Each structure stands twice: as structure tokens, then as C-alpha cells.
Amino acid sequence: MHASDFPDDAAQTERTRETILRYHLSWKHRDLDAVMALYHPDIEYNDFFQQRTMHLADLREYVENNLPRRPGELLEHVDRIRIDGHTAFIQYRFALQGGERLASFRTGEAITVRDGLIWRINEYATLVHEARSGGEGGSSRPATSRLGLSARQLSLLAQDLQDYFHKHRPFLDPELDLQQVAAATGYSRNQISHLLNQVLGQSFYRYVNQARLQHLLDGLAAGSDPGRVDELAFAAGFNSLSAFYKCFRERMGMTPKAYLKQISSRARTQDKP
């Protein structure tokens, strides 16, 4: 194709805008058939995150796996949709849950429209680690994966993993391993390991121990006997006190004894008339 095949003017910008807004709303409403109807028969979809190029025959399954799961689930756009002639640029963010650091994928799509249909899509993703305070401290880098999951699917994996731990509390088993979690969630060991190590920046066992610690802290907040914190640690799934104390100090910045003293002092202050 040559530039002359895509004459850009104000009228073309408006025609492109109409197509892109229909595309955007079709994704928002989880309408798979409507999304597919907007693809040109000669579409080329380049997902640089997966280092994968797809054509029309490949896209139905891909789109179905990436559509929002629930009504009203919105992408967090980091800029307005920009449209110029035949081309549109869309940028959005996926926050990943469950990490010790705040992680997100900043994803962008460059879309070319031809004959009122989407003819080319170039999609890329950048992995961002942010400061806990909400600032943009930390690292960002282009992200790639050959695991068969898009950036959007990795964000869903993170949510599925967090939901599974919250609902079923598998971490209470001191012998929990990666294979058990993979079998229970339907993901592969490699996919979960990649998410934890390369995206969220922690090992599987660190992730599990953080869940155990949060369970223990929730118990203390709910009124569990603070004088038996070692027993609470074993009940939360820790299989050694050394692992518990190390996890606690790294998370809370103090020993369990100092933390209990702090919350006890706070409770006495609140009880004063």
C-alpha cells in the first residue's frame, strides 16, 4: 500500500472516528460479533507483546479471550483517543493485583482504518513498576512474552490468582506448591511463574507467605489473641517461625513483638474517655 491509497482529510478523520468509536463500544459491551464485524478481511494484527502477527482467521479466539469479563468493566485510558485521517491511537492501562510493588501494563494501539473497517492494528505493552505512594518511581520497560497470554490476559491471571487465594485460602496448607495452584486455577506453571517472577517481581513462595501474613494480620485486627502469635503463624500456613519472622519484618518494618506492643498501645489510647 502507498500513502496515496490513504488520502487524509477532515472528512476521513470523521469517518475513522465513527469506526473507532463503534469498535470501542463493541469492546465495552463485550460484543464479540460486533468487534469481528469491524475487522477488514485483510486485517493484520501485530501483538508485539506476544511477538505474534494474526489475521482474520486467528482473531475470534484472541478477541474472545481479551474482552472484559463483566458488564461495565472499563479500561483505564491514560489519554484521549487520538484520530487523524485513517489512523487512531488508543492508550490504556491494566493494573495488576497481588504484587508487593504496584505493577501495571501501559498498552497502546495504533489502528489504521480502510474502507470503514479496521485494516491494521499494532499493539505494544510497557511494564511499569510504581512506587507504593502512587508516584512513578521505579522501572518501566517494553514487555514481551511467548507464553500465549496477552498483556490483558496476564492482568486477568493476576486477578484470578488473587481471587483464588482470597476465596479458597490455599495458603493455609503449609505444603502448598506451584503445581497445586496451577491445577486449581487452570493456568500452567510457566504462566504463573512468569507473572510472579517477571511481572510482579517475587517468587511463588514469597507470594504465598505474603498471603499468609495478610491472613494473620486480618485475624489480629479481628480480635485474635495476640499473645499466641506463633500459633497464629502456624495456623496461617507458615511452616517455620524463621520464615514467619523474616516475612513479618520485611512487610511491617518491625518484629511481631514490637507490632503487638504498638497495636496494644493504640487500643489503650482509644479506650480512654
User: Domain total for the chain?
Assistant: 1
* Domain-embedded: residue 171: no
**Residue 155, in any domain of the structure:** no
Would the CA dihedral through 138, 144, 146, 147 be positive or negative?
Answer: positive
DSSP 5: G
In a domain, 85, yes or no: yes
Is the pLDDT at 208 greater than 70, yes or no?
yes
CA–CA distance, 147 with 261 (Å, rounded to integer): 47
Q: Does some domain include residue 133?
A: yes
- pLDDT tens-digit profile of 117-170? 999 999 999 988 865 544 444 556 555 666 788 988 998 899 899 999 999 999
Residue that wins the pLDDT comparison between 120 and 79: 120
pLDDT of amino acid 96: 82
Mean pLDDT calculated for residue range 240-258 = 94
Q: Among 109, 110, 113, 89, which Cα is nearest to 15's?
A: 113
CATH code (residue 16)? 3.10.450.50
CA distance 126 to 140: 7
Cell of 124: 505494544
Residue 7, pLDDT score: 67
| Adjacent-strand bridge partners of 126 | 106, 142
108 domain-assigned:
yes
pLDDT the model gives residue 244: 96
Domain that holds residue 80: 3-148
Query: Does 273 have pLDDT greater than 60?
Result: no
Q: Is residue 270 included in any domain, yes or no?
A: no
Whether 18 is covered by a domain: the verdict is yes
pLDDT in tens, 174-190: 999 999 999 999 999 99
**Confidence class for position 25, pLDDT limits 50, 70, 90:** very high
In a domain? residue 107? yes
